[in-house]
Amino acid sequence: MTAASPAKRPRVRFAPSPTGFLHVGGARTALFNWLYAKKYDGVFLLRVEDTDRARSTDESTRAIFEGLEWLGLTWDEEVVYQGANVARHYADAHRLLESGAAYRDFTPQSELERLRAEAEARGDAFKFDRTMAELSPEALSEKLANNEPYAIRFRVPEGTTEWPDLVHGRIAFPNKDIEDFIILRSDGTPVYNMAVVSDDIAMDITLVMRGDDHISNTPKQILLYRALGAAVPQFGHVPMIHGTDGKKLSKRHGATAVGDYQHQGLLPQAMLNFLALLGWSPGDDIEVMALPELIERFNVNGLHAKAAVFDTKKLEWMNGQHLASIPIDELAAIVAPLIERAGLAKVADLATRHAWFCGVLELLRIRARLTDEIVAQAGLFFTELVEFDADAVSKQWRDADATAQILEKTHARLATVDAWEPAVMEDALRKLAEELGISGGKIFQPLRVALTGLTVSPGIFDVLLYVGRERSLARIANAVSYLRQSS
């Protein structure tokens, strides 16, 4: 079943607090909102909720921007900074005060702490009693005249607050279980729920899609929307992300910052694909999807209510699938700077050998799950000589003298081939094996170690092609010298 298109152009938002890195859970929430906007020709907005000045940092804000930009989740309008809108939050809180939907609370903080402590000692949950704030007009006027500090509390009405959640279905909260909550502190700063509702109204948000840890905030926010005379947006609360042990995802499960994965050899399209499937399903068994297909298939009916599991091995597998399928020129543009960073070649030099470089990447990408693995495997195509792995030597070069003789004959035969082409070289070496009365493997496996230093590599004739005639023959000669010295 496909969700119906929204009645008006959707406006959705991602609203992180800049108090740390962009968590994978936040990135997943941003992605769901972004996909919804793209699917229904909507607007995706970014709001930085920086009202907590003590914990908000420019560094965290940059990290959030960089993480979203790496993933390609760009926003459609100017970034909204919540801290710049405190005057409006203050005004909206006082509108509620003037309408009678809220009231002043002069109760000293010390008194509230004492009452909480007493309730805790009794084993009860503390709930603010509205009668504590009830004052006669004369008492209220006196306190205002004396400039006594006060908080503003919302007057929770009787009844039930409910909404049709896009993920969980109908959710209802009895209002009697919601205490009269503070919307403006005594220092004039807004509380989270007040700031969020004021901003969402100003930004004309039509759908609030966020983690289900916010469900308890939603009835309070709905009450505020109504009291301010604003339309209540749709709500959808997506599940939490757990580690493979079933516990809430945290650093003990490994990297949780999007930026970490950016620098661990992950492709952004693979990360998007993986995040999309954390709490959402396209409705069939398909898993590997490029971004256009994710947009096409996305619908809220596929959102799950149960917790999603972040499996790093599954992420790496998915990255391998994307490595194997993206256009080779796109992969070359991603890997070339990594090759330069590893000190193997300059990006400019790779550009002059673009066809050769793409050929090397075609060999390596089917064997890799991360771009870092491609770089690690690429070294043998850039160095003049290779180091011989001890295990490879003991396994494939056990008889040093006999192996040296085979490699000498291999060198002589390859030196005389008419064309440095895989089919030509393979034919020449198979004929050599027949002449020597041995299997092809008796030539190919020692040759692999001579060329790569390892027992495992891409196809040996592809290695010969991309290492090149001169360097290949030099490596074989070097292997013969090594074996002669060993024997």
Q: What is the DSSP string of 116-128?
A: HHHHHHHTPPP--
Distance CA 371, CA 256 (A): 19
Place of tokens 């709930």: 127
Burial class of residue 291 (count of CB atoms within 10 Å of its CB; 0-12, 13-18, 19+): middle
Query: Does an H or E element contain 13, and which?
Result: strand 11-14
Nearest to 10 by CA among 299, 208, 294: 208
Of 203, 193, 199, residue with least CA distance to 224:
193
Q: How many residues does the chain have?
A: 487
Instruction: Sort 294 into a burial class: Cβ within 10 Å, 0-12 / 13-18 / 19+.
Output: buried
Close Cβ partners of 254 (under 8 Å, ≥ 6 residues apart): 312
- Determine whether 251 is an active site residue: yes
Triad 29, 199, 71: Cα angle to 5°: 30
Identity of the residue numbered 414: L
**Do 118 and 185 form a contact (C-beta atoms < 8 A)?**
no
Pairing mode of beta strands 308-309, 11-14: unpaired
Q: What is the dihedral of CA 308, 309, 310, 311, to 10 degrees?
A: -150
Pick the catalytic residue from 39, 247, 248, 251: 251
Q: How far apart are CA 155 and CA 402, in angstroms?
A: 92
240 vs 319: CA distance, rounded Å:
23
Among the listed residues 212, 215, 96, 198, the one whose alpha carbon sits nearest the alpha carbon of residue 163: 215
Show which residues are catalytic: 251
